[in-house]
Structure 1
Amino acid sequence: MSLSELQRVKEMEEENARLKRIVADQQISIDILKEVNSKKWQHLIKGSVIA
């Protein structure tokens, strides 16, 4: 493998790591929003009067 190919592989690995961090951050945001939404609806259901 040539030096330029090795450099390109290293760049791609760095980009891959960066993208994986972005995906992980997005998943955390999604999980937080799901949790907040779930608690919001639980609060509304508990607070309502069901006849």
Structure 2
Amino acid sequence: MGRKKHTAEEIVAKLRQVDVLISQGRKVAEAIRSIEVTEVTYYRWRSEYGGLKGDQVERLKSLETENQRLRRAISDLTLEKLILKEAASGNF
């Protein structure tokens, strides 16, 4: 089976589908197999996207992207600061 990159919306939909199947009396393993992912993937998704709705997932992803961009900017500025401090002290 090939790897597939699921979107956040697809993941939330599949998690809801599993919840519905479990509430109908199916076993967890059967419900997970019906959405065609492994148990490890299901539990990883559940821990990350557990109680989120579609709009909350979009907001989470945008915040993660912004956080990554800000971290990169901070690391660049810190590196520049260290280079300037070393150059100013004459240790080059």
* CA offsets 1:17-51 (integer angstroms, 9 cap, x no match): 00000000000000000000011xx7xxxxxxxxx
Looking at structure 2, the residues matched to 19 and 2 of structure 1 have their Cα atoms a distance apart, in angstroms, of 26
What is the percentage of aligned positions where both structures have the same residue?
A: 35
- Hey, what does 1:29 align to over in structure 2? 80
RMSD: 1.1
**More helix by percentage:** 1
Q: What TM-score, normalized by structure 2, do the two folds share?
A: 0.42
- 2:89 is matched with which residue? 38
TM-score, scaled relative to structure 1: 0.75
Give the structure 2 partner of residue 11 of structure 1: 62
- Structure 2's unaligned 5+ residue stretches are 1-51
| C-alpha distance in 1 between matches for 2:58 and 2:83 | 38
Which stretches of structure 1, 4 residues or more, deviate above 3 A after TM superposition?
A: none
Equivalences, count: 40
SS at match of 2:81: helix
